[in-house]
Chain A
Amino acid sequence: MKIVKTMLIPVVALTMIAGSFGVAQAATKTVKIGNIIPLSGPSASVGIQGKNAREMAVQEINDAGGIKSMGGAKLEMLYADSKSDPTAGVSAAEQMINSDKVALLTGCWNSAVTYPTTQVAERYGVPFVVPVSVRDTITERGFKYTFRVAAKDSWWTRDQFAFLKDMAKETGTKIKTVAFVYENGDWGTGFAAGWKKLAKAAGYKVVLDEPYPSTASDLTPVVLKIKRAKPDVLFLTSNASDAILLTNTIANMKVHVKAIIGSGGGHADPAFLTAVGKNAEGIFDIGEWETDLNKPGVDEANAKYNKLYGYNLSGEAVDAYSSMYLIKAALETAGSTDPVKLRQALADTKLCSGPGSIFAYKCIDFDKDGQNKQAALVVVQIHNDNGTMKRFTVWPKEGRHAGYTPTFPMAQ
């Protein structure tokens, strides 16, 4: 009797496994998408935001009937935790391509992980959609299978200057001199190098170029230098603590410029606005996306996301969300998961409207290196809205917060 029992278990188990294969084959086809994102470790919170956005998009796509050109095939999401570690990302990519047989990959947020992981996908010839990872060189290696949706790192400074030019033109303000004040780490000095080139090209005179240690206990000397240099426009790259000190000291010392333009980071930190209050009035800041963007579908998508997960969409989440709709569009065109056809379809896809197009720029449209050439950033102005300091989108003009007129030059 005992032998029968012990024999029975594997037999039943085998039958069940075989049965499940049968069911899978009988049901509608699925398209496997491998996602390598940080779900634990230092970047986990941003990774989870991206995962939630992907889930929301895939749910919508599957509910709307899946991929119609493939007989209503559903999207199936597989996740691997990169832990922000390049080695983990590379081995996850190997495994997803060889064992899981995914049709395409997405990820990895951390540029350091995306860089080698896209290399694996390129070697196997599997399309890789990169929603966000800012390092410029990711799409500068002549890869055929890497497609990046978000803007490159160097486009942040490009768009700060584009905004300044547009704004000066719109309001008829003359801008002659600029000042650069930045934290002396990788981030700040990288931005400053970009600014210097752009200022030269635009014909602005640089009257101050001042790095400062972001651990400084007092930034009064830096502010006094700004006061002495009297620039028209002040560009800043600051972490949270120094953004607070600079903003308060600039207000206290009564330093007046036509515009202060931040670079995200400390200026985008929610603690910044509560800490400086009214002193932040009129400051411009650049970012990937804003919830008040004036575009169809933005409010609905954000409300849904907030209801599901309890917080607002972020730039990272929007890029992940839109990427799923991009993948859907490409699969519709390709009509199969054949990597060569899918790659061609991704390269040809131009996603400009419909669900998923809640990004701040016009279209997702790739150049020959797989970079979304239309990707751009948004500029906001911080303004006192009935006692609370809020960020109002002002640029690009078509996305401007409905009914908001930017104050440019800043109020004196």
Chain B
Amino acid sequence: MEIYIESLLNGLLMGSIYGLTAVGLTVIFGVLKVINFAHGSILMVGMFVAYWCVTLTGMNPYLAIPIVVPLMFYFGYFMQQIVIEPVFKAEKDVREPITVIIVTTGVWYILDNLALMFFGAEYRVAHTSVTGKLFELPGGIYLLQPKVYGFVITFACALFLFWFLKNTVMGKAIRATSLDRDAASLMGVNQYRIYRTAFGIGTAACGLAGCVLIPFYYVYPSVGLVFDIRAFIIVVLGGLGSIPGAIIGGIIIGVIEEVGAMFMPSTWTELVIYGLFLLLLFVKPAGLFGSKQDF
């Protein structure tokens, strides 16, 4: 019995972290209406920044958050400004600019290969102060400390973003732009600045996910692929553009993966996940929390 509780708890923890890896994707989609194919690579960059920050200074991975998150925010902010914005402007009359999707694919390849050039293909594991530490619950249930911290950080991040979008001027401007970019422009919102900020928030979320993953995961240049497809499914499952949707979607996938594997070979859990995904697309194409209003 304990083993099933252990797997359920693990599913909750790991699922929330999957949700965190998908937050960036959902924020960027919600505002820019662009599927960011470079998402996995940005997550990889976030992981590498966190990895080097922790390995070179030997600091606690969670104390690195105030360094990694702003760094990643500006990385995204300027990438949007320099790489994506010119293409965006050329296609400004279209609601879903296709060329931008192709540009993000280019960014994916460039980032992956730059990482390969600078860091090599080997797997790196950060040996931090929380790595391998456990919380022991009664009944011989072990929970990995970094996953528990990751769970807490995920919810803190979701609550903060929710508050930020509801209550700040910038948050309101972001929501206005995501509802109707032209109307927002007419009200005096600089839509390109909003796009940069939204992209920055998306990459910053990847940086946060990097800090959460580093204490128990490995990094290498194509690590993004491991989380990438899962993040897409989570985002569609939860509803494109919805932050609570991403977290709940992540938890659903995490629980199916962990608990499902107790009853069937673990290769089959993917079948269940993709099956559920297709079913949901038939029944509720907007996703669990998706609506016409993206936030």
Min Cβ gap A412→B in Å is: 15
What are the residues of chain B within 8 A of A217 when measuring CB–CB? 18, 226-227, 230
- Please measure, in the bound complex, the distance between the C-alpha atom of A228 and the C-alpha atom of B262, giving whole angstroms: 9
Closest to B124 in A: A275
Q: If A217-B230, A222-B261, A227-B3 touch, does A253 touch B266 (CB 8 Å cutoff)?
A: no
Assess whether B142 is in contact with A252, with CB atoms less than 8 Å apart: yes
**A224-B125 contact, Cβ under 8 Å, with A215-B225, A217-B226, A244-B218:** no
Known contacts A184-B267, A216-B266; is-contact A224 B6 (Cβ 8 Å): yes
Closest Cβ neighbor of B268 among chain A residues:
A211
Please, how many residues of chain A have a CB less than 8 angstroms from a CB on the other chain?
A: 32
For residue A235, give the distance in angstroms from its CB to the closest CB of chain B: 16
Of chain A, the residue at the smallest CB distance from B254 is A218
B120 — nearest CB in chain A belongs to which residue?
Answer: A271
Main secondary structure of the interface of A (DSSP, over half): helix
Interface size on B, residues (CB 8 A): 34
Option from A210, A216, A221, A271 in Cβ contact (under 8 Å) with B123: A271
Counting CB contacts under 8 A, is B14 at the interface? Answer: yes
Q: A212-B267, A275-B218 are in contact. Are A220 and B142 (CB under 8 A)?
A: no
Least distance between A242 CB and chain B CB atoms (Å): 10
- Asked if B33 lies at the interface with its beta carbon under 8 angstroms from chain A, I say no
- Do B132 and A220 have beta carbons less than 8 Å apart? no
Chain B residues contacting A240 (CB-CB under 8 Å) are 123
Across the interface, A211 reaches (CB within 8 A) one of B225, B260, B265, namely B265
Contact status of A220 and B10, CB under 8 A, knowing A215-B225, A252-B134: yes
Is A225's CB within 8 Å of the partner chain B?
yes
A240 to B227, CA, bound (A): 17
Interface string of B218-233 (1 = CB under 8 A from A): 1010000111001000
- Verify A221–B262 contact, CB threshold 8 A: yes
List the 7 closest A-B pairs by CB distance, nearest first.
A221-B261, A271-B122, A275-B125, A212-B266, A217-B226, A221-B258, A271-B123
Interface residues of A (CB under 8 A from B): 184, 210-213, 215-218, 220-222, 224-225, 227-228, 240-241, 244-245, 248, 251-254, 271-272, 274-277, 279
Q: List 16 A-B contacts (CB under 8 A).
A: A184-B267, A211-B265, A211-B267, A216-B266, A220-B7, A220-B14, A221-B10, A221-B262, A221-B269, A222-B261, A227-B3, A228-B3, A240-B123, A252-B142, A275-B123, A277-B127
